Amino acid sequence: MTTPSHPVAGLAGFAGLAAEQKSQDVTDWAARIGWVVGLLLVIALVYWLMREGWKWRATLQGDLPELPQTPAEPGAPTLSMSGRYHGSTTAGQWLDRIVAHGLGTRSRAELTLTDQGVSVVRPGARDFLIPAAELRGARLDKGIAGKVLAEGGLLVITWSHGDRLIDSGFRSDHAAEHTAWVEAVGRLTSGAVPAKTQSEDTEGAR
């Protein structure tokens, strides 16, 4: 005949299991906290390396002259556009980002085309002017400075600054406006220097 266990013994066993479970929970939390701290340290290291790489690239581009400032009286606008500025690169090299003088900072942008050139006003970032005499053309493309969009989703304006030929990428809030900008910039352009698009550059590397 089986002897029934004493109630006190049963309670003691239950308390022991509860204590063991509680101890296990504490161990799991410590491991999770360790993983989170480790992940945060890795993220901080990656951010620091990116920042140092950015500063190094800006140092290499120290020969780039200061950007022309937007004029106080830009003249009658031919076209205007609201959208985003996605960055600038060496013309024809969509991954060779230019970061000097704030050109590497992505931001909102208001573009205005006049007979003086393209005025780029950027809230929270440095404004600049692309003088009409320095314009070399405009085209539709799909990528610049690591940003890839749908085919034709990017307006790329090619211009000369110092001894560099630069591609600057913009995306309008209304992509249908891009074609009008390509045509209007083309009318201001004389002696355009052709620059390869991203797709042409990729094909040439094959």
| DSSP assignments along 117-148, one per residue | EEEEE-TTS--EEEEGGGEEEEEEESEETTEE
- Give dist(CA 110, CA 171) in Å, integer: 11
Closest CA to 199 of 149, 162, 124: 149
CB atoms within 10 A of CB 101: 18
Higher-confidence residue of 139 and 14: namely: 139
pTM of the model: 0.68
Q: What is the pLDDT of residue 14?
A: 52
Q: For the chain, what is the mean pLDDT?
A: 79
Closest CA to 180 of 113, 117, 134: 113
Q: What is the pLDDT of residues 118-138, one digit of tens each?
A: 999 999 899 999 999 999 999
Closest CA to 134 of 161, 96, 109, 105: 161
Dihedral sign from CA coordinates of 46, 154, 189, 78: negative
For 109, the token pair is: 């942008």
- Give dist(CA 68, CA 74) in Å, integer: 13
Dihedral sign from CA coordinates of 105, 106, 108, 111: positive
Q: What is the pLDDT of residues 43-88, one digit of tens each?
A: 876 766 666 555 555 566 668 899 999 888 777 889 999 999 999 9
What is the band of 184 on the pLDDT scale with cuts at 50, 70, 90?
very high
Higher-confidence residue of 36 and 52: namely: 36
Q: Note whether 129 and 116 are within 8 A (CB).
A: yes
